[in-house]
Amino acid sequence: MGLARNVYTLNTDLSVYWAKQSESNPDGFIDFFSKPEDIASIKTLMLSHDPKGYERRMREDQSIILYLNSNLALIQFKDSSNKIRMAKVKSNWRTGGNSLIDNVCALWKLEHVNPLYIPDGDAENLAEYISNTEYLRFVFEKLNQSEGSFVLFGCKFDECCDHIFNCLLREEMRQLAVGVFPEQASNMIHLLEVKLKKIANNDAYHRNLEEKEKALFQAERLMTGLMLFDENTVFS
């Protein structure tokens, strides 16, 4: 993960958390959850009030982890002033406390705490939900500003990911690489081409005719340079 400046993840489980811990330099990753604060005696890290400023202060050898989807470790809760805040749950097993999953389950039992999740829905409902959630709004703003190459791991091709693929249909995106199982490689090209062209033509994204033509051109360009890979092989 450390080879990329921005690491976007769709994993809802704790695999990214564990992968980060297994890196030789776990401090080389930030995710904008930085201020320690206990919730019902459980350790958490609060979302930074100034993520853009936080990013400006990061080191050149650090990567940013950004969650595009629900994640077990992320929660929303109402504080004493009834303001909705976001936090990342920590484990304290190293000091004889609970594991991360135990702390997550304990917090979910509290009436004022909810897991972060993106509900199923059409493009407009998803856009509204993301715009009303501070963290998700920031993450998708960053995704829409991304340029160059983009790598996808574990992405589904159902409608719940359409808003993510839509962000790729910009001319700043030069190449797309998708991680696959070897037996999926031959079918993945067709699935991805159908998906990108369908989104480019989708009226829910409010494109005029000229914008649709540009999105279709971008879809064809991404397909031309598409790279599929697994842990051992690159499939052109």
Residues 22 and 95 grouped into a single domain: yes
Report the pLDDT averaged over residues 101-118: 86
Taking the model in full, what pTM does it have?
0.80
Residue 188's domain spans which residues?
A: 146-235
120, part of any domain = no
Task: Give whole-number Cα distances, 234 to 128, 179, 180, in Å.
Answer: 38, 9, 10
Q: According to the per-residue pLDDT averaged within each range, which of 86-95, 120-129, 197-206, 217-226 is highest?
A: 217-226
109, part of any domain = yes
Helix spans in 98-177 (H): 100-108, 123-131, 134-145, 162-168
CA–CA distance, 44 with 112 (Å, rounded to integer): 15
Residues 14 and 108 grouped into a single domain: yes
Helix, strand, coil % over all residues of the chain, rounded to 5: 40, 25, 35
Structural domain total, the chain: 2
SS3 33: strand
CA–CA distance, 219 with 165 (Å, rounded to integer): 10
**Per-residue model confidence (pLDDT) at position 154:** 65
**Per-residue model confidence (pLDDT) at position 222:** 92
Residues 51 and 109 grouped into a single domain: yes
Of the pLDDT bands very low, low, confident and very high (cuts 50, 70, 90), residue 43 is: confident
| Averaged pLDDT score across all residues of the chain | 82
191, part of any domain = yes
Q: Which of 185, 181, 165, 191 is nearest to 227 (CA)?
A: 185
**Per-residue model confidence (pLDDT) at position 217:** 94
Instruction: Supply φ then ψ for residue 91, to 5 degrees.
Output: -100, 155
Residues 14 and 77 grouped into a single domain: yes
* pLDDT (tens digit per residue) in 165-211: 888 899 898 888 888 777 777 788 888 899 999 999 988 787 889 99
161, part of any domain = yes
162, part of any domain = yes
Residues 177 and 103 grouped into a single domain: no
**Per-residue model confidence (pLDDT) at position 3:** 59
